[in-house]
Amino acid sequence: MLDGTAFLCDFKGSQTPLLTKEQPGTHIMRIGMVGLGRMGANMVLRLIKAGHEVVVWDRSQDAVKDLAAKGAIAAADQKDLVSKLTGPKAVWMMIPAAYVDDTIATFAPLLGKGDILIDGGNSYYKDDIRRAGELSAKGIEYVDVGTSGGVWGLERGYCEMIGGSKEAVGYLDPILKALAPGKGDAPVTPGRTRKGTAEEGYLHCGPNGAGHFVKMVHNGIEYGMMAAYAEGLNILKNANAGKVKREIDAETTPLRDPENYQYDLDLPEITEVWRRGSVVASWLLDLTADALARDPELKTFGGRVSDSGEGRWTILAAIEEGVPAPVLSSALYERFSSRNLAEYADKICSAMRFEFGGHLEKPAGSK
């Protein structure tokens, strides 16, 4: 990281003090932001609040106009965005992974040697390695930033896991620091003696791809944690199974001790008490408790759980490394099942039961 003063760098050692205006203790930068969805827009606002200048563009001109009214600099198109930046020009892409290559293809001809393209979305780290190599041939730096914080990032800040050259990441330090949560009220980890930006909520993890690799596994862990809470709460919700009348037939497993399952448990209150002093307390639990407080039966949700790729890539990395990851794998497969992607396999099983034993399917919803 830079030593307290932000610089314009040509990445060959020559340095010039950064940009036009400066507030006490703040190094003002101008950066371009492409993609003004929920996270991108909030990141723009957080940077503006920190005193930085942000040139914004999105396919939605309404999104551009909205942020321009809040202090951003509007760009009419990609070329206009680049023209409003000063060198080295830095363009941050906050877009779905599927659009990154096309977006790079648009911006690369508009950028020059020493300029920086940043991918802050959830791209596959192997794509980062390829893109960095392609852009390096043109003298353009590429930085991958795994960004965690979701819709709460404007208020809480964003945890950033960063891959790229030391020079490029160092140049971007004022931007990365402004987006990060900072130390806040979190105490220093007991026994920690090292100093660095990790305590501030952002970390240069290594060369190109390292940022998204760390974020990929972070999201894989997130899948596992979410599944663990979901499965545990589902067991609690069905703790009144002994009160449910079951049919007595060859297709229904009898509940051996129904008297042991007579609990009508208050899940909103249970998640609330777990938040306080429990070993399973976490921000994910905080969010779960909030959701249950507002909608105890979760009637506003259908149960279809999407995945954006990181869980799959985490499991693929585990396979290629030869590292077992049964919990993360199971959590990913459960998301597939939530989208009825197990329906055909279930029908095959039902068909086989009928063929070998004449077992008839019971109606959907039967216990």
- Enzyme catalytic residues: 215, 222
- Helices 125-136 and 210-237: crossing angle in degrees, nearest 10, is 160
Q: Residue 348 has which token pair? A: 């095959």
Question: How far, CA to CA in Å, does 200 sit from each of 50, 203, 212, 272?
Answer: 15, 8, 19, 29
Q: Give the end-to-end CA distance of the chain in Å, rounded to a whole number.
A: 59
Determine if residue 217 is left, alpha or beta; phi over 0 gives left, psi from -120 to 50 gives alpha, anything else beta: alpha
Backbone torsion region of residue 129, taken as left when φ is above 0, otherwise alpha when ψ lies between -120 and 50, otherwise beta:
alpha
Query: Residue 168 and residue 155: Cα distance in Å, rounded?
Result: 27
Extended strands (E) in the chain: 7-9, 15-17, 22-23, 26-27, 30-34, 53-57, 73-74, 90-93, 116-119, 141-148, 159-163, 202-206
8 A C-beta contact, residue 148 and residue 218 = yes
Task: Name the one residue in this structure whose structure tokens are 């497969």.
Answer: 333
What b-and-e string marks burial along 167-188, b requiring 16 or more CB atoms within 10 Å of the CB? bbbbbbbbbbbbbbbeeeeeee
